[in-house]
Structure 1
Amino acid sequence: MIDLFDADDGQTELSPEERKGLKPAYITYRSELNREEQENILKAERWLFARRLAAPDIVDQAFICQVHKRMYGDVWDWAGKYHRSDRNIGVDYYRIHPEMRVFIDNVRYWLEHRTYPADELAVRFHHRLVWIHPFPNGNGRLSRLLADRLVVSLGEPRFTWGRTNLLSASDVRARYVDGLRKADGHDLAALLAFARS
């Protein structure tokens, strides 16, 4: 049996204070938590794609926080709020606000000056948001969902994020993490290919 708060492969471990933020008192197993989060994420996804949004609407700190809250707000009381302790991934917590400002300014510049093709711009957006890792958990799922919405607003279809491959979930996850690591070293090719695979 998996402990309720054991981090799944690739998830950020929650602090003791963040664990207390679990809203539904009836959740006792990891499978129940995963199911509640997934239902909340699907509601947020329907909300996000039902809205008419231009790319600049998506590239906004308050909007990013709002989407995270919609994705996790029924499950966690910290949903939509930046984490307040250091992690083994992402920037130090006191750097989140300035890093987010720089990130938002950069993406808006890319949009305004058409610096990159739509796929590359959205994948760069995704990578940088994951790299900052502003929230206690759900950063990858949030970043992929927002990158999907961003690329759609730029006239392209949603990304598939490895779903078209006949690979196991662990193999898909390994390809994704490999793409992120290569992007950390400024090589975006693997992550771009994965986004459309």
Structure 2
Amino acid sequence: MSDLFQEPDDATPLVPAERDGLKLTWITTRADLNAAEQDNIDAGAAWAFRSRRANILTVAFSIALHRQMFGQVWDWAGHYRTTERNIGIAPYRIGTETAQLFDDAAFWVANETYEPDELAVSLHHRLVFVHPFPNGNGRHARMMADLLIRRLGAPPFSWGSNRDDGVIHDIGELRKRYVSALRAADGNDYEPLIAFARL
């Protein structure tokens, strides 16, 4: 078996039926899959940042964004997961919890409940916590936060891409720091995640 579906220990593994949803038959290695997904994510980002939708804080937009980010690679893109995961809520709760999240986020924006960074990072964290899709949840949640921070008029997030501080030099270390920040946010400490988003 190739390394095609090998995930980091803290990533969400795909179940066999989801693996069968791979659309591109030429993909045989993890590097191929990563490249194909990145090309699709770039196309999804272009679509999202061109979007003229007045309100991005909706279930419909979130689903459409996931489909735009992963739909060229996976046939389940834009569909909620139906299986349990090592992270996230039970599948039957996804629809309700996601709708509640976007209602909450719209309220936060309308009432300026939080500063822009905390608001966008809170949206990101709760989306990751729900983990609505079979895969791509972190990337999708970061894109939603990026879109929101832009609409709030704040500078864009870097999500660790400004790594000239001498602290982080490889993707493994970057991922560890991201996961650690998410875990801190699970305990209602959002400062590490905000710092990571601005790293």
TM over 0.5: yes
The reply on whether 1:121 has 2:119 as its aligned counterpart is: yes
Q: How far off is 1:3 after superposition?
A: 1.9
The reply on whether 1:194 has 2:196 as its aligned counterpart is: yes
Partner of 1:41: 41
Identity of aligned residues (%): 49
- Structure 2, unaligned runs of 5 or more: none
Q: How far off is 1:2 after superposition?
A: 4.9
Give distance in 1, aligned partners of 2:23 and 2:85: 23
Partner of 1:64: 62
Secondary structure of the residue aligned to 1:3 is coil
Secondary structure of the residue aligned to 2:69 is helix
Give distance in 1, aligned partners of 2:8 and 2:29: 13
Partner of 1:174: 176
Secondary structure of the residue aligned to 2:86 is coil
Partner of 1:185: 187
| TM-score with structure 1 setting the length | 0.95
| TM-score with structure 2 setting the length | 0.94
Task: Map 1:77-96 to 2 at 5 A.
Answer: 77-96=75-94
The reply on whether 1:31 has 2:31 as its aligned counterpart is: yes
Contact 1:11 1:138 in 2 (8 A): no
Partner of 1:111: 109
Matching residue's letter, 2:49: F
Q: Choose which of 50, 72, 75 in structure 2 pairs with 1:74.
A: 72
Contact 2:58 2:99 in 1 (8 A): no
Q: How far off is 1:190 after superposition?
A: 0.5
Give distance in 1, aligned partners of 2:104 and 2:141: 16
Give distance in 1, aligned partners of 2:29 and 2:160: 28
- Structure 1, unaligned runs of 5 or more: none
Give distance in 2, aligned partners of 1:85 and 1:28: 25
Secondary structure of the residue aligned to 1:28 is coil
TM superposition outliers: structure 1 runs of 4+ over 4 Å: none
Secondary structure of the residue aligned to 2:121 is helix
Matching residue's letter, 2:124: H
Partner of 2:162: 164
Distance 1:70 1:148, change over 3 A: same
Give distance in 2, aligned partners of 1:44 and 1:187: 30
Q: How far off is 1:5 after superposition?
A: 1.3
Compare 4-13 and 69-78 and name the one that shifted more. 4-13
How large is the Cα RMSD of the aligned pairs? Answer: 1.3
Q: How far off is 1:180 after superposition?
A: 0.3
Contact 1:179 1:188 in 2 (8 A): yes
Partner of 1:13: 13
Give distance in 1, aligned partners of 2:136 and 2:11: 8
Alignment length (residue pairs): 195
Secondary structure of the residue aligned to 1:107 is helix
Secondary structure of the residue aligned to 1:58 is coil
